[in-house]
């Protein structure tokens, strides 16, 4: 544990951190990539360019300083980051590299306010935090290797099927090249793919939600074509049946955990439906006896993925209800057939199906999820019954 003086010094630097803001972590990443360019193969460079990752890291550093006396409140944050790190195959020795650049950044931006005592305190605090991550990640790596169908590090998979779900979403079935089983996962988790291609300046690792229930033989991911997205467009346009992809074991802390007597509401917008689809398929596979409600929002019919699959499941399972919102229906979209409501998702329109004791899982753009959270709170749903996933760097709603 950290001693009281170290804790006191760390807390004294909170005003400095808040004054610097995300500029601190922007400088950190620029410095690290300059001196250790090999780490560009590890980090998602698109999130660097968008500014999302520096902001997320700054929020994590600030939260660590503010909760240095009560780290238990950060346990969910540590778990989320550790899960993500295993998808990037983070090694213990890389923490020392990150630590050296973090301390150098503090000194370079903090000036005279960052004394030797401050640097020593942050060195101890960072080392303590790094050890927490290293230990948890070692547990995850070991568990992945020991489970039936599990593995450690990269494993070669083959694209065994490719299906167009909408004009922007394509599903890929990934089957292991060695023909052996694959480990189970918990619906809501994601796969990490490593792609090396002449069109990419560096190796790129991307994490995509699994979009089907576990079956022990293969995995399915469903990828949205992002405007200007190098990797998503590469997958859509240049990766075909028979091509190989390096895959890391499933990971993630956004998971379906409900008892048989708990109603489940799955809420999504756009490609945020992919982890919901995995959850839905698992609930149906396990014959979940309580009510299941599927709520989805998208722009219009041509981008509406899994439309027919959801319609078929609703016809086959009496306890499944679904409602769809199109923000701007096209002239060929039919209300009552393709969609139920026009405009933004308003939960008040289906309030009679939203039970306070149900568990709510939601995924989509940040603005969408923030609005959903506020609507659920207004309907009397406890925050403890809400579970959400952010695609990309984490943000609090």
Among the listed residues 64, 126, 137, 360, the single catalytic one is 137
The answer to whether residues 358 and 224 touch, using CB atoms and an 8 Å cutoff, is no
- Establish whether 274 is an annotated binding residue: yes
What is the rounded radius of gyration, in angstroms, for the C-alpha atoms of the chain? 22
Token pair belonging to 218: 């293969």
Among the listed residues 95, 219, 326, 388, the single catalytic one is 95
- Establish whether 219 is an annotated binding residue: no
The answer to whether residues 231 and 164 touch, using CB atoms and an 8 Å cutoff, is no
* Strand arrangement, sheet containing 292-298: 341-342, 320-326, 292-298, 264-269, 359-363, 386-389
- Establish whether 252 is an annotated binding residue: no
* Helix pair 4-12, 116-146: axis angle to 10 deg: 100
- Establish whether 111 is an annotated binding residue: no
Q: Give the 3-state secondary structure of residue 99.
A: helix
- Establish whether 31 is an annotated binding residue: no
The DSSP line for 212-242 is: S---SS-EEEEEE--TT-HHHHHHHHH--TT
- Establish whether 206 is an annotated binding residue: yes
- Establish whether 209 is an annotated binding residue: yes
Q: How far apart are CA 254 and CA 80, in angstroms?
A: 8
Adjacent-strand bridge partners of 156: 246
Q: How far apart are CA 150 and CA 251, in angstroms?
A: 12
- Establish whether 357 is an annotated binding residue: no
- Establish whether 336 is an annotated binding residue: no
DSSP state of 57: H
Place of tokens 């630590």: 99
Q: How far apart are CA 292 and CA 201, in angstroms?
A: 44
Q: How far apart are CA 125 and CA 167, in angstroms?
A: 48
Q: How far apart are CA 115 and CA 361, in angstroms?
A: 46
Q: How far apart are CA 295 and CA 322, in angstroms?
A: 6
- Establish whether 273 is an annotated binding residue: yes
Which positions ≥6 away from 366 have C-beta within 8 Å?
A: 390, 395, 397
- Establish whether 272 is an annotated binding residue: yes
The answer to whether residues 274 and 300 touch, using CB atoms and an 8 Å cutoff, is no
- Establish whether 392 is an annotated binding residue: yes
- Establish whether 270 is an annotated binding residue: yes
- Establish whether 133 is an annotated binding residue: no
- Establish whether 85 is an annotated binding residue: yes
- Establish whether 126 is an annotated binding residue: no
Token pair belonging to 175: 């089957």
Tell me whether residue 95 is one of the annotated catalytic residues: yes
Known binding residues for FAD are 190, 206-209, 390-393
Known binding residues for NADP(+) are 270-275
Known binding residues are 85, 190, 206-209, 270-275, 390-393
Known binding residues for heme b are 85
Please give the positions annotated as active site: 95, 137
């Amino acid at each position: 544990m950290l001693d009281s003086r170290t804790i006191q010094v760390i807390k004294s630097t909170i005003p400095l951190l808040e004054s610097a803001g995300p500029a601190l972590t922007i400088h950190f990443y620029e410095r690290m990539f300059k001196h250790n360019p090999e780490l560009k193969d590890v980090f998602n460079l698109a999130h660097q360019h968008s500014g999302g990752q520096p902001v997320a890291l700054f929020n994590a550093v600030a939260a660590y300083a503010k909760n240095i006396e009560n780290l238990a409140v950060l346990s969910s944050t540590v778990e989320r980051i550790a899960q993500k790190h295993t998808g990037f195959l983070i090694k213990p020795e890389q923490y020392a590299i990150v630590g050296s650049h973090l301390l150098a950044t503090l000194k370079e931006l903090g000036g005279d306010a960052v004394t030797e005592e401050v640097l020593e305190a942050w060195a101890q605090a960072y080392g303590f935090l790094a050890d927490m991550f290293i230990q948890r990640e070692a547990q995850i790596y070991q568990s992945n290797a020991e489970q039936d169908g599990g593995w450690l590090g990269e494993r070669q998979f083959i694209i065994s099927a490719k299906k167009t779900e909408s004009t922007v979403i394509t599903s890929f079935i990934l089957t292991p090249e060695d023909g052996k089983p694959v480990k189970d996962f918990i619906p809501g988790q994601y796969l990490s793919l490593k792609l090396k291609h002449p069109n990419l300046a560096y190796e790129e690792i991307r994490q995509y939600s699994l979009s089907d229930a576990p079956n022990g033989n293969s995995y399915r991911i469903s990828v949205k074509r992002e405007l200007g997205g190098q990797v998503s467009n590469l997958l859509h346009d240049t990766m075909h049946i028979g091509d190989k992809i390096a895959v890391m074991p499933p990971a993630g802390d956004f998971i379906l955990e409900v008892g048989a007597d708990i109603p489940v509401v799955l809420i999504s917008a756009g490609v945020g439906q992919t982890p919901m689809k995995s959850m839905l398929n698992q609930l149906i596979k396990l014959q979940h006896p309580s009510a299941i409600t599927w709520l989805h929002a998208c722009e219009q019919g041509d981008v509406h993925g899994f439309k027919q699959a959801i319609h078929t499941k609703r016809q086959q399972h009496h306890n499944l209800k679904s409602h769809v919102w199109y923000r701007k229906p096209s002239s060929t979209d039919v209300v009552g057939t393709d969609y139920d409501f026009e405009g933004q998702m308003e939960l008040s329109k289906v309030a009679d199906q939203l039970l306070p004791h149900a568990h709510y899982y939601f995924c989509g753009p940040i603005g969408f999820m923030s609005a959903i959270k506020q609507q659920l709170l207004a309907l009397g749903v406890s925050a403890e019954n809400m579970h959400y996933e952010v695609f990309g760097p984490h943000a609090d709603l």
